[in-house]
Structure 1
Amino acid sequence: MLPSFYMAHGAPSLAIEEHAYTDFLKILASQLPKPEAIVVFSAHWESAIQQIGAAVRPETIYDFSGFSKELYEITYPAKGSLPLSLHIKSLFEAEGIACEINDQRGLDHGVWALLHILYPDADIPVVPLSVNPNLAMEEHYRIGSAVAKLKEHNVLIVGSGGTVHNLRKLDRSAIKPQRWAVQFDEWLAEQLETWNLEALFDYMNRAPFAKEAVPTREHLVPLLLAMGAAEPNDRAKLLHRSYQMGTLSLSCWMFGAEEEKG
């Protein structure tokens, strides 16, 4: 059974960059069994009511400006999966989670920038899901756990965001990451590896430099969504962490992997 993942999508230019993180993503995809479908909670699709993408052929959304022309020429022509979208709706409704089918939404860069690297052939159906950063952190975990059963059907569940994501703190001349960004990520790692939900739900009061790292929550909540989707296997493993521009965290967490048999 596939684990769930939290993956940083960095800047939109991630799709055309070559560095340690993009190399890692390519290797990761080659090591995983090919999924039957991919479900992505994207930080760049915010909604008050949980949305479930159901477009037959979701368009590639260029929800950014000021980047190189090459980025706007990328398309990610993966198909959707209406049966999967409807199944997700039934899972949410079974847990009392209000939700809506959206057959118009395409794939924003929180989805396609990652998938363009992981699965460049775009031959796996993709269902995007929205996030609501105004919900309590506990609720994000509950929403994630509602779709955990999808993994039994070889569906890859991804939360796409970024743990340290403060565009005002970026320093394009930086060679090393800022210490405060690393301290926040290290605190987060300790809580994830011990599955300390109480601390994670109260991260704003407990984590060092939480306000600097998470000025808005939409990029962090996919972490709790992916974590919830690991149930009942509460294991977390950091697979990669690096930084761009001093503070932009590029991390990948795996949740729910089975222990290796010795």
Structure 2
Amino acid sequence: MIPSYFFAHGAPSLVLEQHDYTEFLKKFAASTPKPRAIVLFSAHWESREQSISTVDTYSTIYDFSGFQDELYQMTYPAKGDLAISEEIQQLFEKNGIPSVMNPERGLDHGAWAVLKLMFPAADIPVVALSVNRFLSNEQQYQIGKALSSLREKDILIIGSGGIVHNLRMLNWRGGNTPEEWAVDFDNWIQEKLENWDLEALFNYEKLAPYAREAVPTNEHFIPLLLAMGTGDSNRQAKLLHRSYQLGTLSLSCWEFN
């Protein structure tokens, strides 16, 4: 059974940046067996219905503005995998999770920017999944748990988002030095993940220090809970990388086994 992962995707320019986190992502593929397929929840595909991509070949969505021209020339023409999409829908149905198929949507930057660094050849089939910010934290976890059996079939499950993700409080002059409150929140999350403290994590908005600053809106945090849910059988969480950008963006990778 292969692990599943949470990856922070940072700013859209991540794919052009050079720092410790991008080097970590570039080396990731060499450290893990090549998966049969990738199933990815992106914070940038929001839907009130759990949506499952069924495209044949993905278009590239440029869901950002004001960045380097080079970004708008990049593509990630990964193939889909209809059989896996249908299997996912069956798993959701089995667990009482309503879902719909989407034959049109391409890959947003929450998906392609990370995948392009890790698997630049775009030669692994991808099934993209949406997130729903209106569900409870426990429901998010259960969605991930419903897909855990895919890991037994060499399918890599990824949640792409950001644990500390406050765009309104970016420190453009502070370089990569994190705000103290960002580190405090990250440390609290780390302790709860490593101890698989679901009660605390499901109530992080009330219990975690500086939760309102770290998670002003929850769509980027949700992929962490989705990825964690896929590891429910063994309940082992490991922090593989953590660094920061502009004070209030954490760049982290968690492995769930």
Give the shorter-chain TM-score range. Answer: over 0.9
Deviations 1:179-225 (A, max 9, x none): 00000000000000000000000000000000000000000010000
Name the CA distance, whole Å, in 2 between partners of 1:194 and 1:172: 34
Superposed CA RMSD in Å reads 0.6
Q: What residue in structure 1 maps to residue 118 of structure 2?
A: 118
Please list the CA deviations of residues 49-101 of structure 1 after superposition, one character each: whole Å capped at 9, or x if unmatched.
Answer: 10001100111110111100000010001100111100100000000100001
Structure 1 residue matching 2:5: 3-state secondary structure: strand
Q: How does 1:31-70 map to 2 (within 5 A)?
A: 31-70=31-70
Match of 1:164 in 2: 164
What is the CA distance between 1:231 and its match in structure 2?
2.5
1:200 aligns with 2:214: no
CA–CA distance in 2 between the matches of 1:62 and 1:2? 31
Equivalent positions of 1:105-254 (< 5 A) are 105-175=105-175, 176-254=177-255
Identify the residue that residue 92 of structure 2 maps to in structure 1.
92
Deviations 1:210-248 (A, max 9, x none): 000000000001000000011211000000000000111
**Secondary structure in structure 2 of the residue aligned to 1:218:** helix
**What is the CA–CA distance in structure 2 between the aligned matches of 1:21 and 1:111, rounded to whole Å?**
16
Aligned equivalent of 1:259: none
Is there any run of 5+ residues in structure 2 with no aligned partner, and where? none
Task: Give the aligned residue type for 2:208.
Answer: A
Gap regions ≥5 residues in structure 1: 257-262
Specify the code of the residue in structure 2 equivalent to 1:9: H
Give the CA deviation at 1:16. 1.0
User: What secondary structure, in the 3-state scheme, does the structure 1 residue paired with 2:219 have?
Assistant: coil
Distance 1:30 1:60 in 2: 25
What residue number does 2:78 align with? 78
Aligned residue for 1:165, secondary structure, equals: coil
Q: Report the secondary structure of 1:106's partner residue.
A: coil
Q: Which runs of 4+ in 1 moved over 4 A?
A: none
* 3-state SS in 2 of match to 1:57: coil
CA distances 1:125-184 after superposition (whole Å, capped 9, x unpaired): 001000001100000000000011111110000000000101001011113110000000
CA distance in 2: counterparts of 1:65 and 1:118, whole angstroms: 24
Q: How many percent identity over aligned positions?
A: 59
Q: If the length of structure 2 is used for normalisation, what is the TM-score?
A: 0.99
Q: Which amino acid aligns with 1:79?
A: K
TM-score calculated relative to the size of structure 1? 0.97
Aligned to 2:224, the other structure's residue is in SS state helix
Alignment match, 1:6: 6
SS in 2 for 1:242: strand
Q: C-alpha distance in 1, partners of 2:100/2:58?
A: 17
Deviations 1:17-66 (A, max 9, x none): 11100101112221100000001000000011100011001111101111
- Counting matched residue pairs gives 256
Partner of 1:7, secondary structure, is strand
